[in-house]
Amino acid sequence: MTRTMPAAVLWDMDGTLVDTEPYWMAAETPLVESYGGTWSHEQALALVGLGLEDSARIFQAAGVELGVTQIIDHLTNAVMASLAETGIPFRPGARELLADLRAHGVKTALVTMSMRRMADHVVGLMDFEAFDVVIAGDDARRPKPFPDAYLQACEALGVDVAGTVAIEDSPNGLRAAIASGAVSLGVPLMLPLEEVGAHELWPTLEGRSAADIAALHATHTRAVGAR
């Protein structure tokens, strides 16, 4: 049976499409230590999926004597430098699924709390036209876990959010996706997602196709209609 594709698939970037979280963490520790502070792995995990302005204020509380914009620029520059050295560290199956969605004519958006220049840098390193729309942290009216960035992406794509699937790796990101009204798919990386309330959790995107996304969306839109 041929399934109807969703109107669009909305992708988080860091930790979902690309495994850049270690790059962020590698930049955070020396920044805090340069101001005499300490930074633990647990503190770093608490920032996963959080808006960069909120993260910057946490670094200020940890002793970093820089402005919010300066902290964001410093960390963004460090991660972009790592990407320039290593190329794009796609999560398993992410590139293949994204390419299959594009081949099936599904609209796609990148919805990230990273800065626009960082998002554009990642998209520019990709070897195919991957996204119709990019909504970055400096575009969002409010950061995740608010739903604004996902709703803005749907506005830009001209689609109803109920007709979309949003893919996330972090609790904050999933909360944003759920609140937006999209069918939410969690693919955990560094943090558990079992208690967040995603429509489905997949351990990996490896081996997944556009047909799987269509089935996911159909299953959960039918469930809503049945209630």
Sketch the domain layout of the chain as residue ranges. 8-20+90-226, 21-86
Position 2 scores a pLDDT of: 53
Residue closest to 128 by CA, chosen among 158, 88, 187 = 88
Mean pLDDT of 51-79: 95
Percent of the chain with pLDDT over 70: 96
Contact in structure between 187 and 202 (CB atoms under 8 Å): yes
Mean pLDDT of 117-134: 94
Helix axis angle, 171-180 to 148-157, nearest 10°: 50
Read off the tokens for 170: 């972090």
Predicted TM-score (pTM) of this structure: 0.90
Position 226 scores a pLDDT of: 41
Position 223 scores a pLDDT of: 57
Is residue 162 pLDDT above 80, yes or no? yes
State the Cα torsion 113-116-121-125 to the nearest 10°. Answer: 70
Half-sphere exposure of 206 (CA within 13 A, CB side): 6
Reading across the β-sheet that carries 183-186, which strands appear in turn?
A: 133-135, 107-111, 8-11, 164-168, 183-186, 200-201
Which of 3.40.366.30, 3.40.50.1000, 3.40.50.300, 3.30.300.30 is the CATH number of 8-20+90-226? 3.40.50.1000
Position 132 scores a pLDDT of: 98
- State how far the alpha carbon of 64 is from the alpha carbons of 30, 71, 225, in Å: 11, 8, 50
Is residue 225 pLDDT above 70, yes or no? no
Report phi then psi at 136, rounded to 5: -110, 175
Q: Measured in whole angstroms, how far is the alpha carbon of residue 218 from the centre of its chain?
A: 23
Mean pLDDT of 63-82: 96
Mean pLDDT of 200-206: 98
User: What is the third-level CATH fold of 21-86?
Assistant: DNA polymerase; domain 1 (1.10.150)
Percent of the chain with pLDDT over 90: 89
Is residue 81 pLDDT above 70, yes or no? yes
**Tens digits of per-residue pLDDT, 97-118?**
999 999 999 999 999 999 999 9
Is residue 1 pLDDT above 50, yes or no? no
Q: Measured in whole angstroms, how far is the alpha carbon of residue 160 from the centre of its chain?
A: 20
pLDDT class of 221 with cuts at 50, 70, 90: confident
Is residue 49 pLDDT above 90, yes or no? no
Position 227 scores a pLDDT of: 40
